[in-house]
Structure 1
Amino acid sequence: MNTKPHVLVLGGNFAGLGSAQKIREFAGDAVEITVIDRKNYLLFVPNIPADVFENRDPAVGQRMDLPPVLAKDGISFIQGEVTTLDVDSKTVHYTPTERPGAAPQKIAYDYLVVALGNRLAYDKIEGFDEYGDSVSDIYLGNKLRKKLWEGGYKGGPIAVGSARFHQGDGAKGLAPYPGGSIPDALAACEGPPVEVMLSVANYLKQTGQGGPDKVTVFTPAALIAEDAGEGVVGQLLDIASGMGFNYVNNGKDITRITAEGVELASGQTIEAELKIIFPDWVAHDFMRGLPISDSEGFVITDLLMKNPKYPEVFAAGDAAAVTMPKLGAIGHQECEIVGRQIACAVGRMSEAAANTPLEPVVYCIGDMGDNQAFYIRSNSWFGGDTQILKMGHVPFLLKMQYKNLFFRNQGKMPDWGLDFSELMAEKIAS
C-alpha cells in the first residue's frame, strides 16, 4: 500500500511545471506528484510576439509536450479541466479533456499547489471579437500575423495597450523588503505592451509602411510598466518619445473597441486601424469564493507561498495573489519556495534551508525587433533599491537563448542562469 503523501499541482505551464520539478528535486522520492492541465503541452508565451512580427507560426516552435517531460521525474500527468476545489475534504474535481463527453472525475491530495495561471478576459471587452488583436496565444498570434503579412493590415495607425486589471486584496500587509509592500496595480503586466510597441515600429520600418509616429501605446495607469520603477520607465518613455511614439496614460480602462479605434473610460478615443490589446487577467471562476481565495479569486499566501488558513495549500505564478505583476520571472522565484516548503513538510529539508521568503524581482526581456531587445531588472516597486535598464543585441540573444535552453533542459533552468543573464546584460553589454 502506498503511504507517500500525494502532491497535486493544478496547472502545467511555467509555474505548474516549475513547481512540480522543484518539489521532486527537493523532496525526492518522499512524495507522489500529479500535475493536471487542460492541455498536454507548455506554451512558451513570451516568444509568441517574435514569431508574429517575423512571420513564423508560433504553433510550430512555442510548444513543449508535457507528459514525457514530467515522466522523466516520475511525475504523473492528467489532461483535464479542473471544475471544483474542496479544500476541506482535500479533493479536486475535474473533467478529462482528451476527448469530448468524458465523465467528471475527482482526485484527493495531501498537499496542493495552485498554479493554474489566469483567464485572459477578452470576453469582457466590447468589440474585441470583431476588431481586436493580441499576441497572448497561438490562435490570436496567428490571426495578427496573417493580418500583418497577408494583406489584412492597410497601413493605418496602430494602438497598443491594456485594459484595467482588478487585483484583489490577498496580498495586503505583506512586506517583501523592509518598508516595502506588494503594490496595487491597474495593469497586470505591461512588459508585453512595451515590447509589442517597439516590435510594431520595427515591422513598419522593415515593410516600408512608416515608423513609431503611427503607434500609440496606452495604459490605464498613471505610468506604463510602473512595476519596472520610475527611473527605468522614465528612460523608456524618453527614448520612445524621441523616436516619435504617442503615449496615453490614465486611460482608466477600455470601454469598447470599434472599427475606428479604442474608446477609453477616461473619455479619450485613440484612432487606430489595428488594435493590439492586453486584457484584464482574472482568476478561474471556480476559485472565486473559496476560503483560500481573495476578493477576486486569487490564492492568498504568505511570502512562503503558503495559505495561512490551509497550510497544505500553496500557490505559484499568476494564480497567487502575491504575484504582482503577473510575471513569469516572479513565478519561477515562487516555484523554488514551494519546492522547499513541501520538502520541509515531508522531512526532506530543514526549516532553516526552506524558510527563505519571497523577495520579488522584476526580470523582463522584451523583443524590440531587428535582433534587439530591452532588459530590465528591478525590485524598487516592492521596496528594494535596484532599477536597471539595458537595450541592444545582447538582451535579444539572451531572450532567444533562454527559450532554447528551457526547451533543451525541459524546463529545468540551471542555478547560474540568472547570474549569467545579469553578467551578460549588465556588464558585458554595457
Structure 2
Amino acid sequence: MCDVVIIGAGLGGMSAAYEIKAALGAAHRVTVVGEGRQFSFTPSNPWVGIGWRQPADVQIDAASALGRHDIAFVDSPASAVHPAENRVLLQDGRELKYDYLVIATGPRLAFDEIPGLGPLDGYTQSVCTTPHATTAWHAYQDFLKAPGPVVIGAAQGASCFGPAYEFAMILDTDLRRRKLRDRVPMTFVTPEPYIGHMGLGGVGDSKGLLEKELRQRHIKWITNARIDQVEPGLMHVSEHDTRGQVLQTHALPFVYSMVIPAFTGVAAVRSVEGLVNPRGFVLIDKHQRNPAFPNIFSAGVCVAIPPVEATAVPTGAPKTGFMIESMVSALTANIKAAIDGTPAIAEATWNAVCLADMGDSGAAFVAIPQIPPRNVTWAKEGKWVHLAKVAFEKYYMRKIRSGNTEPVYEKYVMKAIGIERLKPGTQPGRQ
C-alpha cells in the first residue's frame, strides 16, 4: 500500500484528491492536508467582496466531502516538508509519512513586499481568499456610508490580473445600481505594460476590449505601475516607461482600495533546496514532477512558470483553472504509472481559458497554448459570459460536493464558448 499525501485543499488539491483516489482505488491511501476545514471556490471571491455572494455560498466542508470517498483529511496546515525523509511536518506537531507527495498549496500572498499593502497590517483589501473577500465586504459596507475615490489593481510581480479587472467592473456595476457611481472616482493601477496584457502578452484584442470597458465605465488607469507605499487613504505609485525608468509619480487618494499582491511559495517549502525556485515556487518537469525529488509532484498556482515575456515592471504568468485541472490529470496518471512501475508519459496542456465577470456583462479569453506563439487567441464579450460564469460556479461546487472527477473546465467552459474538442486550428464558434 502506498501513501499519497496532498498539501492543499483548494482547486488543485481537492481535484487531485478525487482523481488520484479514483485512479488508485482502495489499495492505496490518500490524505489531504488543509488550512482549516473549508474548501473555497476562489473564482467567486470578487462577488463575495461586493456582497453578491455570502461565504457560505462558495464554501464546502472539505473533510465531509472527502470522507465520503474514503479520503482522509487533516485540518492542520503543513509547516515544513522534508523530502529526503519523505515526511511532512504539520503546524500542530504531527507528521505524515508519504510515498508520493502532491504540493497544491496555492501561493503565499506577499503583502509584506510593499509597505502598507494588505488587509491585515495595511490599508488595502484583497479578494485572494474568501476570508479576505469577507473583510473586503465589511469595508465596502462602511465605504457605502461615505463614498469617495477608489483605487483597484495589482501590485508589481502579480500574476493574477483577472480578479482585479473583475472587481473593478463589478464594483462599478454595484455602485451604478446604488446610484452612487457619480460620487466615486476610480483608478485602475497595474504593472502590466498595457491594459489587457494579463501576464499573457495579451489574448486576441484583450487590450482593445478591456480599454473600451474601462473607458465606458469612466475608470482611469495607470500601466507600468509600481506601488511604492500605501498610507491611510493615499497610495504612492511610480509610473515607468518601456525601459523601466520612472516617468512620473502619482499620489492617489482613496477611501476604498483592493489590490492583488505578488505571490511567493508558501513557508513550508520555500527554503527546500532543489524543490523550489528563489521565489519559493515548486520546480517541475513536463510530467508535473520535481526533478530533484521524483516522488514529489505539484499543480496549481504554487508551480514555477517563467513569465511569458519581460516587462518593464515585473509581471508573472497566471495559472488558470483549466490549466490546473490539466496539471492534476497529468500528475494523477504519472503517480499511477510510478506505482505500476511504468514510465511517466502524461503531460498537461497548458492552455489559458478564462471567464471574467464584469457585473452586468463579461469577457471570455482563450489562449491555446498559454505561451505564444499560439494556435488559438480569442477574446469576446457579452452578457452570456456573465451567465456562463454563474452557471459554472454551480457546476464546480457540485463537482467538489460529489467528488466528480470530470474535467469541468473542459466540459462546461469550453462548451460555453463554442469549443467542443481541441484540435489544431480549432477556433471558438460562439460569438
Specify the TM-score bucket, using the shorter chain as the normaliser. Answer: 0.7 to 0.9
Q: How many angstroms apart in 2 are the aligned matches of 1:305 and 1:52?
A: 33
Q: Does 1:45 align with 2:42?
A: yes
Equivalent pair of 2:108/2:266 in contact (CA under 8 Å)? yes
Gaps of 5+ in 1: 97-103, 166-186
Q: Which residue of 2 aligns with 1:315?
A: 298
Give the Cα–Cα distance (whole angstroms) in 2 for the partners of residues 341 and 211 of structure 1: 55
- The 2-side partners of 1:123 and 1:153 are apart by 30
Deviation, 1:322, is 3.0
Change (3 A) 1:308 1:261: same
Equivalent in 199, 221, 228 of residue 247 of structure 1:
221
1:401 corresponding residue in structure 2 = 391
Structure 1 residues 80, 147: closer, same or farther in 2, change over 3 A? closer
* Alignment partner of 1:71 out of 67, 82, 105: 67
Given that 1:50 and 1:367 are in contact with CA atoms closer than 8 Å, whether structure 2 keeps it comes out as no
TM-score normalized with structure 2 length: 0.84
Q: Deviations over 1:361-399 (max 9, x none)?
A: 1121122113x3222111354132222222222222221
Match of 2:105 in 1: 116
Alignment of 1:180-329 (within 5 A): 187-210=158-181, 214-223=185-194, 224-227=197-200, 229-243=202-216, 244-251=218-225, 253-266=226-239, 267-290=249-272, 291-322=274-305, 324-329=317-322
- Check if 1:418 corresponds to 2:401: no
Sequence identity (%)? 21
Number of matched pairs: 393
The answer to whether 1:142 aligns with 2:131 is: no
Q: Which structure ranks higher in relative contact order (CA pairs < 8 Å, sequence separation ≥ 6)?
A: 1
The question of whether the paired residues in 1 share the 8 Å contact of 2:322 and 2:409 is answered with: no
Describe the SS at the equivalent of 2:289. Answer: coil
Pairwise CA distance, 1:428: 7.4
Q: Distance between the aligned counterparts of 1:385 and 1:115, measured in 2?
A: 29
Structure 2 portions without partners, runs of 5+: 240-248, 307-316, 419-427
* CA distance in 2: counterparts of 1:416 and 1:289, whole angstroms: 34
Deviation at 1:274, TM superposition (A): 1.6
**Paired AA for residue 319 in structure 2:** K
2: distance between equivalents of 1:397 and 1:242? Answer: 23
* Aligned partners of 2:169 and 2:359 also within 8 Å: yes
Q: Which residue of 2 aligns with 1:386?
A: 376
Distance 1:428-1:149 versus aligned 2 partners, 3 A rule = farther
One-letter identity of the residue aligned with 2:294: P
Task: Choose the corresponding residue for 1:357, options 332, 347, 354.
Answer: 347
Query: RMSD over aligned Cα, in angstroms?
Result: 2.4
Give the 3 Å change call, closer, same or farther, for CA 221–234 of structure 1 in structure 2.
closer
Cα distance change on mapping 1:322 and 1:256 into 2, 3 Å: same
Aligned counterpart, 1:339: 332
Deviations 1:254-293 (A, max 9, x none): 2111234321244333333221111111111231231211
CA offset digits 1:112-169 (Å, max 9, x no partner): 111111111223332233521222233332333233335555232211111122xxxx
Q: Distance in 2 between matches of 1:403 and 1:419?
A: 13
Is this contact kept in 1: 2:235–2:251, CA < 8 A? Answer: yes
Query: How many angstroms apart in 1 are the aligned matches of 2:412 and 2:128?
Result: 28
TM-score of the pair, normalised by structure 1: 0.84
